[in-house]
């Protein structure tokens, strides 16, 4: 069962179960085993990173389940675990990672400028972005959905206009573009991060938040019953790992890492330790796209 196939009722049941069973805020995980003897062809990004002995990774800092900065200053979540798997294959342990908050609108820029070596940040692969960066993966497939207050009657994007609902999303994200098909521009509210959208929903400044279902699930989990998922995904969002445009060897290396993690159970474990606390069914690694 894929998350995007879950009904609203099923998601609610899953949420209730997970909150009762294991508490919902702890999304930490044991670090994957580091490939200390890793060898790479001279001149490749892999060789450079291994020699440098450190790596800068862009992720989100305010998205529970995928990338949420904890009190210890370190982010936790599924994206963070996937990134650690890549670092480990480079021979770099988690303490050699410098985490760089990469809000949606800055991801391409940070990769182009070398502010980060890669981005794992609920980052949808699409043609527009591929003009500026390359993607390894996809390593997960989400779908755009809506989050509303528990008592809301909004049951899908088509209902937003009639309800004259203000809808919140994030600048530079795919959902911010897509929602224009359903809502007048004057009713779209954009912030830099989704946690601010959740605050705006709480205070009644907006009546809905739109982004990927799994991001919303994390915010719903944190809302302690105040919000619900509408549960009707209306796009597909394949998550890729963003790297410098045209770095095919690095893309291939990351894809090989994902495949190995899938077969040795590390991918399933990364899910189980993080997003799996709210959505227990582990996803299947999607078919990887050709590196270009
Ligand atoms: N996956 C979508 C995107 O890459 C939405 C999530 C996000 O903004 O990170 O734009």
Instruction: Report the number of secondary-structure helices (H) and strands (E) in the chain.
Output: 11, 13
In the prediction, which pLDDT does 31 show? 80
Order of strands, edge to edge, in the sheet holding 75-76? 62-63, 67-69, 75-76
For residues 54 and 93, what is the distance between their CA atoms, to the nearest angstrom? 9
The mean predicted confidence, pLDDT, of the chain is 91
In the prediction, which pLDDT does 2 show? 41
The tokens for 71 are 């009190």
In the prediction, which pLDDT does 30 show? 66
How far is residue 192 CA from its own chain's centroid?
A: 15
CB atoms within 10 A of CB 88: 23
Arithmetic mean of pLDDT, 106-130: 98
For residue range 181-203, what is the model confidence (pLDDT) as tens digits? 999 999 999 999 999 999 999 99
Ligand 1: does its nearest atom lie under 6 Å from the Cβ of 45?
no
- Of 144, 237, 239, 286, the one to substitute when testing ligand 1's pocket (max ligand atoms within 8 A of C-beta) is 237
Kindly tell me if the per-residue pLDDT of 218 is higher than 70.
yes
Minimum CA distance residue for ligand 1 atom 9: 122
Q: What are the residue ranges spanned by the domains of the chain?
A: 3-7+34-142+237-277, 144-229
Ligand 1: does its nearest atom lie under 6 Å from the Cβ of 187?
no
117 touches 75 (CB < 8 A): no
Kindly tell me if the per-residue pLDDT of 28 is higher than 80.
no
- Residue 158 — very low, low, confident or very high, per pLDDT cuts 50/70/90? very high
In the prediction, which pLDDT does 167 show? 98
For residues 186 and 84, what is the distance between their CA atoms, to the nearest angstrom? 41
In ligand 1, which atom is closest to the CA atom of 169? 8
In the prediction, which pLDDT does 198 show? 98
Ligand 1: does its nearest atom lie under 6 Å from the Cβ of 283?
no
Whether 3-7+34-142+237-277 and 144-229 share one fold: the answer is yes
In the prediction, which pLDDT does 292 show? 86
Q: Which residue has the higher pLDDT, 25 or 97?
A: 97
**pTM of the predicted protein model:** 0.91
Task: For the chain, give the percent of residues with pLDDT over 90.
Answer: 86
**Residue 242 phi, psi (nearest 5):** -80, 135
For residue range 266-284, what is the model confidence (pLDDT) as tens digits? 999 999 999 999 998 889 9
Kindly tell me if the per-residue pLDDT of 229 is higher than 50.
yes
- Nearest of 66, 59, 210, 49 to residue 144 by alpha carbon: 210
Ligand 1: does its nearest atom lie under 6 Å from the Cβ of 62?
no
Kindly tell me if the per-residue pLDDT of 12 is higher than 60.
no
CATH assignment, 3-7+34-142+237-277? 3.40.190.10
In the prediction, which pLDDT does 46 show? 98
211 touches 175 (CB < 8 A): yes
CATH 2.60.120.10 fits 144-229, yes or no: no
For residue range 245-266, what is the model confidence (pLDDT) as tens digits? 999 999 999 999 999 999 999 9
Kindly tell me if the per-residue pLDDT of 5 is higher than 80.
no
Kindly tell me if the per-residue pLDDT of 18 is higher than 90.
no
- Of 78, 105, 123, 196, the one to substitute when testing ligand 1's pocket (max ligand atoms within 8 A of C-beta) is 123
């Amino acid at each position: 069962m894929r998350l995007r196939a879950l009904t609203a009722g099923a998601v609610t049941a899953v949420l209730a179960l997970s909150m009762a069973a294991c508490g919902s805020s702890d999304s930490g995980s044991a670090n994957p085993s580091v490939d200390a003897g890793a060898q790479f062809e001279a001149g490749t990004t892999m060789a450079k990173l291994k020699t440098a002995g450190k790596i800068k990774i862009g992720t989100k800092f305010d998205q529970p389940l995928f990338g949420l900065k904890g009190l210890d200053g370190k982010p936790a979540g599924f994206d963070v675990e996937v990134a650690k798997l890549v670092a480990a294959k480079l021979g770099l342990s988690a303490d050699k990672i410098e985490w760089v908050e990469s809000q949606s609108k800055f991801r391409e820029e940070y990769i182009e400028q070398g502010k980060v070596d890669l981005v794992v940040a609920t980052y949808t692969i699409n043609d527009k972005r591929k003009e500026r960066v390359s993607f390894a993966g996809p390593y997960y497939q989400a779908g755009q959905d809506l989050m509303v207050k528990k008592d809301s009657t909004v049951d899908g994007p088509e209902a937003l206009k009639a309800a004259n609902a203000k809808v919140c999303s994030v600048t530079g994200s795919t959902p911010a573009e897509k929602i224009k098909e359903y809502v007048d521009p004057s009713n779209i509210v954009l912030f830099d991060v989704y946690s601010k959208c959740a605050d705006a929903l709480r205070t009644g400044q907006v009546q809905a938040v739109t982004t990927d279902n799994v991001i919303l699930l994390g915010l719903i989990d944190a809302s302690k019953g105040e919000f619900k998922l509408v549960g009707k995904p209306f796009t597909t969002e394949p998550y890729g790992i963003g790297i410098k445009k045209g770095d095919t060897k690095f893309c291939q290396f990351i894809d090989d890492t994902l495949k190995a993690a899938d077969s040795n159970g590390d991918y399933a474990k990364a899910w189980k330790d993080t997003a799996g606390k709210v959505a227990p069914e582990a996803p299947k690694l999607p078919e990887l796209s050709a590196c270009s």
